[in-house]
Amino acid sequence: MFDSGVGGLTVLRALLATLPSEHYVYLGDTARLPYGTKSADSVRRYALQAAAALRGRGVKCLVVACNTATAVALDALAAGFDPLPVVGVLEPGAVAACRATRSGRVAVIATEGTVRGGAYERAIRRLLPDARIVSRACPMFVALAEEGWTAGPIAEAVAHRYLDDWFGPGAGTGKPDTLVLGCTHFPMLEPVLQAVAGPDATIVDSARTTAAAVADVLGERGLLRTAGPGDPGRLELLATDGPERFARVGSGFLGRPIGTEDVRVVDL
Ligand code: DGL
């Protein structure tokens, strides 16, 4: 699996809970983060390079743990790496949103790259044709999450700036009842986002539904691994830059300690 940085570790966390016996290789393309502000062509090129590096390590399934890369490169990855199963986070995120909403009013926050292409709107409308969807690019949330500033006055101020016209006192009736975290970095800010969106908003992200989609794909293809005694699932962490930072910030995303010595730097 890969992401532009540590954000995809929120998806890895869900995968480890769902499929603990598997071996995982996680690649954070930290040298080229953020993906969300780059052109679709650049992100597609980066995604193909990251996937090639992972295929070179003999993976049996590729998880695109980045909404931006999923939005612009999923088709190219599926075609370029066929027959390797490729699972993105966007469709599972749309499924989670459609399950959660009661009013059909859905707000999506994501990176510029994800919002620009309208991929979430299309994915949600395929499942819920009458959905009323608003979306917004929130690139500052990526910076806050990577910096570890996920709570406190600065995170709150940024969240108010991005969300108040949808959820604040002036929003009136017709508020969205569901807020989709369309970027794998954003779950780290969930308590702040919930406080600003209010108790009536259901916050969904794609981590759990992506893990379920991976379990389905591996099951269908007979690829699930069974861990034997003394043969547990292994985890390999790769980054294209800055192992210290990856370990420090990534620990919070993964929900378990990561040491600098656990992160190997690779060149794509
Ligand atoms: N975590 C990534 C996503 O889900 C991208 C963040 C970025 O690199 O801008 O979109």
Q: pLDDT of 53-100, one tens digit each?
A: 999 999 999 999 999 999 999 999 999 999 999 999 999 999 999 999
Distance CA 238, CA 235 (A): 10
pLDDT of residue 265: 98
CATH code assigned at 117: 3.40.50.1860
Q: Are residues 112 and 215 in the same domain?
A: no
- Percent of the chain exceeding pLDDT 90 equals 93
212 and 84 inside one domain:
yes
| Residues facing residue 238 across a β-bridge | 27, 264
Give Dmax over CA atoms of the chain in angstroms. Answer: 58
Contact (CB, 8 A) for 34 and 112: no
Pair 183, 112 in one domain: yes
> What would the pLDDT profile of 13-64 be if each residue is shown by its tens digit?
999 999 999 999 999 999 999 999 999 999 999 999 999 999 999 999 999 9
Token pair listed for 70: 């999923």
Go through the chain and tell me how many residues it has.
268
Residues 214 and 227 in one domain: yes
Q: Is 4 in the pocket of ligand 1 (CB under 6 A)?
A: yes
Cβ–ligand 1 contact at 114 (below 6 Å):
yes
C-alpha distances (whole Å) from 158 to each of 142, 143, 153, 164, 176 are 11, 11, 9, 10, 19
Cis peptide before 85 (omega within 30 of 0): no
| Residue that terminates a domain, selected from 155, 186, 206 | 206
Sign, Cα dihedral of 98, 119, 83, 6: negative
Q: Which two tokens mark 168?
A: 């604040």
Residues 55 and 107 in one domain: no
Of 11, 30, 35, best ligand 1 pocket probe by most atoms within 8 Å of the beta carbon: 35
Say if ligand 1 is within 6 A of residue 2 CB.
no
Q: Which domain holds residue 218?
A: 2-88+208-265
- The pLDDT of residue 52 is 98
- Among 181, 206, 231, give the residue marking a domain's end: 206
**Residue 210 and residue 93: Cα distance in Å, rounded?**
8
- Please name which of 152, 261, 188 lies closest in space to residue 3, comparing C-alpha atoms: 188
Same domain membership, residue 56 and residue 111: no
pTM for this structure? 0.94
pLDDT at 229 over 90: no
- Overall number of domains in the chain: 2
81 and 105 part of one domain: no
Residue 183 near ligand 1, beta carbon < 6 Å: yes
> Sign of torsion, CA 12 149 96 127?
negative
150-178 pLDDT, tens digit each: 999 999 999 999 999 999 988 878 899 99
Give the residue from 157, 184, 206 where a domain finishes.
206
- pLDDT at 144 exceeding the cut of 90: yes
Q: What is the three-class DSSP state of 39?
A: coil
Catalytic positions, written as ranges: 66, 183
Q: Kindly state whether residues 218 and 166 are assigned to the same domain.
A: no
Clarify whether residues 63 and 6 are in a common domain: yes
Measured in Å, residue 168 CA sits from the centre of ligand 1 at 26
**Residues 58 and 17 grouped into a single domain:** yes
Same domain, 130 and 189: yes
What is the number of the ligand 1 atom nearest to the C-alpha of 34? 8
What count of other Cβ atoms lies within 10 Å of the Cβ of residue 59?
18
Clarify whether residues 82 and 213 are in a common domain: yes
Distance CA 50, CA 64 (A): 10
Percent of the chain having pLDDT more than 70? 100
Query: Which residue of 12, 44, 66, 115 sits with most ligand 1 atoms within 8 Å of its CB, as the best mutation to test the pocket?
Result: 66
